[in-house]
Amino acid sequence: MISVANEQSAVDLESFKSCVGRTIETRDVVTVSPLARMSAWLDRDDPEPKPGDPIPPGAHLLYFLSTTRQSALGAAGGNPRDDLEPPIPLQRKVWAGCRMWFHQPIRVGEAIRRVGTVKTLTPKQGRSGPLVFTTFRDEIFGPNGLAMAEEMDIIFREDPKGEEAPPPAQPRPGKAAWQRIVQADPPLLFRFSALTYNSHRIHYDYVYTTQVEKYPGLLITGPLQALLLIDLARRNTASRPIAEFSCRALRPIFEGGPVYVEGAPTPDGSGAELWTLDRSETLGMTASIKFAQGMHT
């Protein structure tokens, strides 16, 4: 049995396997304002979206925002996925990566529906204590059926007992054909948290982040880096339609100084390899894109 002690008793983490298969359905409408704000956050000169325009890949993160009650937020401010996320009694939640599949455009003005599912849940005993590896799957439907799907890998773990050594540093994986340098300052992080209604304090509350959670600075979220990488591909391929995107977080990147957002097309031109590096040019995230063949917009 893999368990964790709470204030009352030991909780068997294996018991949360019963949550696998749980689904929650939510609905939203694709409005213009979030798209305009995302464009401003990305420093783009996009025209104002009009009804019927396709939204950019990754912009689904601006919709289906959490409705967790204020009184239900924990001390860290993290908002769980409403009724979908199991109440795992481990204090720290780590976003480890994601995969996205784009089947058809989601358009401004459409009523959309998201079906979220707990796909997998695996408790393990790690060197630092108990861990729970989870994968959540979202499927988003528009008027014409399934528009896109996303799977997110989340690791639940205990707060570290002392200082932890960061994962081994890795250099950039190849020669960059594309590069954008983004200043990882508090306004960048705060505006993204506002865009996605993310109240997790490690992304905007410096005192809490450094004094309570003992990080050296505010953390740049995985989804933030993923959107910067998708945007890099859009800027350098005339917004060529994307069929698939996947990314893996390798090492935390903290605010302060530049973030290098880089990539290059694959040799056959069918996709791209992308990555982020921190101010010391240490690899933070890697990603891959497959471009769509004949997907209409």
The domain total for the chain is: 1
**By C-alpha distance, which of 68, 72, 46, 71 is closest to 59?**
46
Whether 297 is covered by a domain: the verdict is no
Between CA 156 and CA 86 the distance in angstroms is: 11
**Torsion angle of C-alpha atoms 61, 184, 168, 135, degrees rounded to 10:** -10
List all residues 6 or more positions away from 31 whose beta carbon is below 8 Å from its beta carbon. 108
- Note the Cα 102 to chain centre separation in Å: 16
State the pLDDT at residue 8: 38
Report the pLDDT averaged over residues 105-131: 94
Whether 161 is covered by a domain: the verdict is yes
> Residue 24 belongs to what domain range?
3-291
Report the pLDDT averaged over residues 248-260: 96
The string of DSSP codes covering the chain is --EEE-SSSEEEGGGGGGGTT-EEEEEEE--HHHHHHHHHHTT--PPPP-TTPBPPTTGGGGSS-----GGG--TT-----TTTS-----SEEEEEEEEEEE-S--BTT-EEEEEEEEEEEEEEEETTEEEEEEEEEEEEEETTEEEEEEEEEEEEEPPPSS--PPPPP---SS--SEEEEEE--HHHHHHHHHHHT---GGGT-HHIIIIIS--SSPBPPHHHHHHHHHHHHHHHTTT--EEEEEEEE-S--BSSSEEEEEEEE-TTSSEEEEEEE-TT--EEEEEEEEE-SS---
Between CA 93 and CA 149 the distance in angstroms is: 22
Q: Which pLDDT band, with edges at 50, 70 and 90, does 51 fall under?
A: very high
State the pLDDT at residue 83: 75
Between CA 285 and CA 248 the distance in angstroms is: 6
Report the pLDDT averaged over residues 124-138: 92
Whether 229 is covered by a domain: the verdict is yes
Indicate whether 6 pLDDT > 60: no
Whether 151 is covered by a domain: the verdict is yes
Higher-pLDDT residue of 92 and 38 is 38
Higher-pLDDT residue of 99 and 127 is 99
Whether 206 is covered by a domain: the verdict is yes
Report the pLDDT averaged over residues 247-274: 97
> Which CATH number goes with the domain that contains 122?
3.10.129.10
Q: Which pLDDT band, with edges at 50, 70 and 90, does 10 fall under?
A: very low
State the pLDDT at residue 4: 58
Whether 201 is covered by a domain: the verdict is yes
Whether 55 is covered by a domain: the verdict is yes
Whether 100 is covered by a domain: the verdict is yes
CB atoms inside a 10 Å sphere around CB 121: 23
